[in-house]
Chains A and B, each alone.
Chain A
Amino acid sequence: MPPANFLGTVGRRPGPVRGALATGVLAAAMLAGPSPALAQKVRITNLSDVDFGTIANLQADSRRSQSICLYSNGTAGGYSVLASGSGSGSAFSLANGPNQLAYDVEWSGQSGQSSGTALSPNVALTGQTSSATHQFCNSGPPASASLIVVLRGSQLAQARQGSYSGTLTLLIAAE
């Protein structure tokens, strides 16, 4: 077994210890048995609140998109996304007291997109892949997915006057 300060010894005397280092690594591998698979992990960051402001045209769709960082260390960067709203039954709806304003959510596995695959509340969208190489997108692409929120004109045309608010929660799972 190598000493506890084995790596430090390597630093001070690189020449003679190279062989010892190889021996130590081999011994450690033998003691540990087969290497366990790396745990699949994901992370979603760089989310921003969505503010539509005052909507001037209630006859047309209003759309807001944002590029976010979605990192997955799973096979080929795979992940699924499941969205839930703060409406009844996790519905995608905003509230102003008793008044509701439904919205749509779309997801794209690429950043910079203004449209994507429509999500349904509490239904996972699978088969997504991330191009992020860092969990905060600090290196590599600065973003790897797009979140799009849409207020439909058909809903706005029926909406009561007022300020509406709600929360959209995104659950990402490694695939």
Chain B
Amino acid sequence: MVNRAAGTLLAGAFAALLLAEPAAASTQGSFGATSTGSVTINASVPGRVRISGLSDVTFSNADPSATASNAQNVCVWSNTSTRGYTVTATGSGASNAFTLASGALPVVPYTVQWAQTSGQASGASLLAGTALGGQTSGAINSDCSAGPSSSASLVVSVASSALQGMTAGVTYNGTLTLVVAPE
């Protein structure tokens, strides 16, 4: 009994060894007037995104009686199967707020909108630090150097009420950061 059990164990181990052996896909050539060999090539491309084509936003001599708005076309590229991505915006204000500052003067809020197509003057409103999902890119390469030259719209606005709270002749500034992730 003991011997039989041991034999079964060995046979099982041998079978497991055979099963664990990776299949060799490459083939070697024979000796002849011609000889043919082949190899299998494997590569894995991870999910990647890229945002580019961003420009600084400047509001010069903004009229406080109306909302000041700036829309720009940007390039967002995604290589996922759906070309999908998320975008998360953060400002340079307290708790990533979308605000402009000038020293000790009261900060000025602004709004950010995003559209998944270029040439738009409005889009979905972004909340600071909150990802906007379900976006799809029409870009076919990572910097839009081929195909469409841009694939999304970024819209930054300062409401009339906010403009009216600003001090004339003073420069306000801030930084808006956009994080794009594959989806």
Contacts and interface: CB of A to CB of B under 8 A. Distances in A.
B35 A43 contact: yes
Contact of A53 (B27, B37, B44, B142): B44
A contact face: mostly helix, strand, loop, or mixed: strand
Interface in A117-175: 135, 147, 149, 151, 156-174
Interface string B26-67: 111111111111111111111110000000000000000000
B141 to A, nearest CB: 5
A161 B37 contact: no
Report the contact-size class of chain B (Cβ under 8 Å from the partner). 20 to 34
Contact of B28 (A46, A96, A166): A46
Interface size class of A (residues with CB under 8 A): 35 or more
Contacts, number: 148
Contact of B37 (A44, A50, A103, A156): A44
Contacts of A45: 28-29, 37
Contacts of B48: 58, 161
A54 interface: yes
Given A47-B26, A160-B80, A161-B80, A42 B33 contact: yes
B35 A167 contact: no
Given A45-B29, A158-B140, A164 B44 contact: yes
15 contacts: A41-B33, A42-B29, A42-B32, A43-B29, A44-B37, A45-B29, A47-B39, A54-B44, A96-B45, A101-B43, A158-B79, A161-B79, A165-B41, A172-B29, A173-B34
Interface of A: 39-56, 58-59, 62, 68, 71, 94, 96, 101, 103, 135, 147, 149, 151, 156-174
Given A160-B80, A170-B38, 10 more contacts: A44-B35, A47-B28, A47-B38, A49-B40, A54-B45, A55-B46, A149-B41, A157-B141, A161-B46, A161-B79
